[in-house]
Amino acid sequence: MILVFGEALIDFFPASCGQKRGYVPYPGGSPHNVAIGLGRLGIPVMYLGRLSRDWFGKLLKDSFRESGVDLRYLAEGGEPTALSFIHLNSSKEPDFSFYGTDTADCKLVPAMIPDPLPADVAAIHLGSLAMIREPIGSTLTTIAEREHGKRLISFDPNVRPNHVKDKQSYLKRVEHWLRLSDLIKLSVYDLDYLYPGSTPDEMAERTLNLGPRLIVVTFGEIGAVAYTASAKIEVKGKTVEVVDTVGAGDAFTAGLLGWLYEHDYLRTDRLGVISESELRTALEWATCIASITCTRIGADPPHRAELIEQSSKF
């Protein structure tokens, strides 16, 4: 199975009720979104994190369970759930106002992580805000260091510049995480922040030399590009009626990880030798899943059954 680490929080989306304006809660957080995306595709997946026992924590737990995510090692606490308020601009891109001081998710410590991990864990996915909050950030770094070379590690920095207090220190930590990872997924926004002035090709050449076997950069509706040591593959985006783009990148990640898992490439000895045709197919699959997610509110990735119906539209 695939083990997902990181934060789960509540995204509040603007809504109207009569003459009043307010917000509606939706389960969210990048690792949460990846985990439910995998579960809805029928991929064996476990989430290992810490949730609050408050009402929002119960909402998140229900979201995981309804999507088929294994919660056997879930930790819980009395601290509140982290909250994020979404503001959509004219292009349906989100701005986030985050409220997460001393919340339950960031209190994950090494003692809560089984050692060794279950034998059926083939790969680990981590990243996002969890990497820069404490003590969870140090906990996940420790896990990545411990499991490096034993299991495939997938990393999505999902950069949130407003929450980076010291950019130089953050960039140094990101490079350390890149060295520990086999698969890297970046958005074009991550690219601009982490490698200002660099082209995707320049970034890929530099980052592949650090050790990763596969790097993928997503460009929203434009498409995505993937790099291995021997190939560069580009795919175009899908044309859809966009409601918002929240969770689209996470849906892409879930689709990519799921495809690689099902085709036995989610292994350290196999990922780097995937053929160009197979990598293109994996990217197109992930792009389709991300596109469908953009047609509805919030991080609401499709179930596998929906893909049969929806894929005819692309």
pLDDT digits (tens, 9 = 90+) for 111-123: 999 999 999 999 9
* Cα 247 to Cα 7, 159, 178, 214, 275, distances in angstroms: 14, 14, 22, 21, 28
Whole-model pTM: value is 0.95
State phi, psi for 202 to the nearest 5 degrees.
-65, -45
pLDDT digits (tens, 9 = 90+) for 147-184: 999 999 999 999 999 889 999 999 999 999 999 999 99
> What does CATH list as the number for 2-313?
3.40.1190.20
The token pair that represents 15 in the structure block: 């809504």
127: β partners: 156
How many CB atoms neighbour CB 302 within 10 A? 24
* Mean pLDDT value across residues 252-274: 96
Alpha-carbon dihedral 82, 63, 241, 14, rounded to 10 degrees: -40
Reference 78, options 59, 98, 57, 64; nearest CA is 57
Omega of the bond prior to 212 within 30 degrees of 0, cis?
Answer: no
* Mean pLDDT value across residues 5-28: 92
How many CB atoms neighbour CB 17 within 10 A? 8
Residue ranges per structural domain of the chain: 2-313
Please report which confidence band the pLDDT of residue 308 belongs to, taking 50, 70 and 90 as the band edges: confident
Measured distance CA(252)–CA(272) in Å, rounded? 19
Measured distance CA(221)–CA(137) in Å, rounded? 31
Measured distance CA(207)–CA(120) in Å, rounded? 29
Measured distance CA(290)–CA(154) in Å, rounded? 18
pLDDT digits (tens, 9 = 90+) for 286-302: 999 999 999 999 899 99
Angle at the Cα of 60 from the Cα atoms of 28 and 43, rounded to 5 degrees: 80
3-state helix, strand, coil in the chain (%, to 5): 40, 25, 35
Provide, rounded to the nearest whole percent, the portion of the chain with pLDDT above 90.
Answer: 83
pLDDT digits (tens, 9 = 90+) for 43-102: 999 999 999 999 999 999 999 999 999 999 999 999 999 999 988 776 666 788 899 889
Measured distance CA(161)–CA(312) in Å, rounded? 38
More confident residue, 314 or 220: 220
CA 54 from centre of chain? 24
Which pLDDT does position 30 carry in this prediction?
Answer: 96
Which pLDDT does position 310 carry in this prediction?
Answer: 63
